[in-house]
Amino acid sequence: MAMFLRSARSSFFSPLLFPFASRGSLRFFAVVFLVSFLLLAYVYPLSFSRFDQPTAPHVRWEPKQHPLYPHVRQMHDDPSLLRTVFRTEHDDYSRNSPHANLTLVLTITNDTSSWGRMTHGTPRKWQFIDYIDRIREQKLPPSSVHLGLLVSDRDAYAAYVDELASATDLPFARADVIYMSSLPGDAEPGKGISRKERHSKDKAFQCRRRRHIARVRNFLSNQVLTPAVKHVIWLDADVYELPKGLFERFVNLGSIPIERNISDIVKYVDLRDSKQIPNAPSTTATAASSTNTVTGTGTSAPKKSATASDSEKATQSTTSASAIAESTAFTPLPIGLLTLRCEANGWMDYDRNAWAGFGYRPTNRELNAIHEGRRFPGMRHWAKALSQLIQDTRDDQLVRLDAVGGTALYIRAELLREGLAFSVYSVSGTQWGHDGEDGVETEGLCFIAQRMGYACYTLGGQWRTMHSDA
C-alpha cells in the first residue's frame, strides 16, 4: 500500500509541477530552491536592520574604539552622520549609578567660527576650549553633567573629537559629538547662511531659518536625552560670558516640586494696556486698553488716571500689581522653562525672542530710546522685553514670560519626554491649511508648555549673559 501511494504521488504530482522534468532535474531544482531560501534569509535582515536602530534610520550603531583613546567610542556608518561618544573619569555609569540630578548641556554649531568674536573694543575670537572653560566655571559636579554638541562641518567635527580625546579633567562625565551635514530630506538647509544674515529683517527668510534651527535642536535633543537626565540647558555657541552660579540656579529652580506654590518668588509685573491678556487663564478678562494686566495673576485692575505723572503711574502700577498678587488666589504655574537677559555691545536685550505681553515688539533702537526716557505713539500696547520686565526685581525673583529665546535656556527634561519640542512652524494662530502668525522655534515653547501645565520665567535682578557681536 505504501509503495502504491509513493508511486501515485510521484506519478501524479511530478507531471503537474514539472511535466518535462526527470528525477535528476528535480533534485537540482530542490538544491537551487534551498540555496535561494538561505540567501534570502541572510540578506533580508541586513537590508532592513537599519530600521531597527534606536536613532536616525540611516544609522547603524556599531561602536568602534578609538585607535588612540580607549575611553572614546566612534560610531561610523553613514559619512553624512557621524557620532563620537566620550566617557570621562567622572562617569558614574561604570558603577551603574548615574548622578541623581543629571544635567544635559546642548549646543549646535556650524564650524570652528561659531564660537563668536568681538569687533568692538578689544578684538577677540573664541574657540571650542573657551566653551569648555565656561562649563567648568559653573562648578557643577562633573559627574552630574553630560554634553551634547552638534556640528555641520566635517573638519570642525574632527577637530572637536581630537580636542576632547586628548583633554584631561573635563568638566563633564560624558560628551556626545555629532556631525550631520544636513537633515534627512531637508529642503531648506541652513548651511551657507552667514552670521550677518542671522539678523535679516526679511520675515520669510527668518521663518525658514528658524524652522531649520528648530529641527536641528529637536534632532540633537532626541539623540542625547537619556532616561537619567533631569535638566536640559541650551547654550548659544557665541555666548562668551555666563554669570557665576547660573547652572546651579537653573538646577535648583528646576528641582522645585511642581506641587509647590512659587508665589513667593514670582514678581508680578504690570503689562499695562497689552492688546491681549498674557498668561491669564480667566475667560472674563478682556483685551480692552482700560485694564491693567498682571503677569501670572489672571486678574485685572482699573486703569489709573491719565493725568498722573510718569513716576506716579509707575508707583501706582507697582502698588496695584502687588495688591492684586496678594489678594488673588491664583497660583503661578510650575517652572517648566527658564532664561535670563542677554546683553551684547550696548544692546540691553540681544535676545529679542524673549518677551511678555502681546502686540508690537520694539526694535533695539526703539528699546534703547525707551530706556533713555523717550516715548512712542502706542508704545503702551507693545510687548515688553526682559530689560523692562525685570526692573525693580531682585536676583532671587522670577518674572513670567510668554516667549523665550535660546541664548541660555533651561528646560525641565520631563517636558521634552512628554512632547515639548521646538516648534517647526508658527504655532500661535495656526489653522487647518496654513501656519499661524507667531511662535516658531524657541518662541513656540511657552505656548506649548502652558498647555502642558507649565510656565516660562526669566531670572530677575542682575542675572545676564554676554553675547559676541560677530
- Alpha-helical (H) ranges within 184-294 are 203-224, 246-254
**451 has a pLDDT exceeding 80:** yes
pLDDT bracket for residue 220 (50, 70, 90): very high
Region 105-112 average pLDDT: 96
pLDDT digits (tens, 9 = 90+) for 305-317: 333 344 444 344 4
- What whole-number distance in Å separates Cα of residue 50 and Cα of residue 468? 41
E-strand spans in 283-326?
291-294, 300-302
- What whole-number distance in Å separates Cα of residue 438 and Cα of residue 430? 9
Lowest mean pLDDT among 97-101, 242-246, 308-312: 308-312
So where are the chain's domains?
A: 55-266+334-354+403-470, 267-331+361-384
Share of the chain above pLDDT 90, in %: 41
- 345 against 128, higher pLDDT: 128
Distance set, CA 134 to CA 115, 142, 169, 466 (Å): 12, 13, 14, 12
Distance set, CA 165 to CA 104, 129, 160, 266 (Å): 19, 13, 8, 44
**66 has a pLDDT exceeding 70:** no
Region 49-53 average pLDDT: 35
Which one is the CATH code of 55-266+334-354+403-470: 3.90.550.10, 3.40.50.150, 3.20.20.140, 3.30.365.10?
3.90.550.10
**33 has a pLDDT exceeding 60:** yes
Q: Which residue has 534632532 as its cell numbers?
A: 219
Region 411-439 average pLDDT: 83
Lowest mean pLDDT among 171-175, 190-194, 438-442: 190-194
pLDDT bracket for residue 382 (50, 70, 90): low
User: What was the pLDDT predicted at 349?
Assistant: 85
Q: What would the grid cell of residue 170 be?
A: 573635563
- What whole-number distance in Å separates Cα of residue 150 and Cα of residue 130? 17
Lowest mean pLDDT among 10-24, 367-381, 407-421: 10-24
Q: Is 452 helix (H, G, I), strand (E, B) or coil?
A: coil
Lowest mean pLDDT among 251-255, 310-314, 388-392: 310-314
pLDDT digits (tens, 9 = 90+) for 114-145: 999 988 878 899 999 999 999 999 999 999 99
User: What was the pLDDT predicted at 365?
Assistant: 67
- 154-166 and 128-137 helices cross at what angle (nearest 10)? 50
**465 has a pLDDT exceeding 80:** yes
User: What was the pLDDT predicted at 266?
Assistant: 96
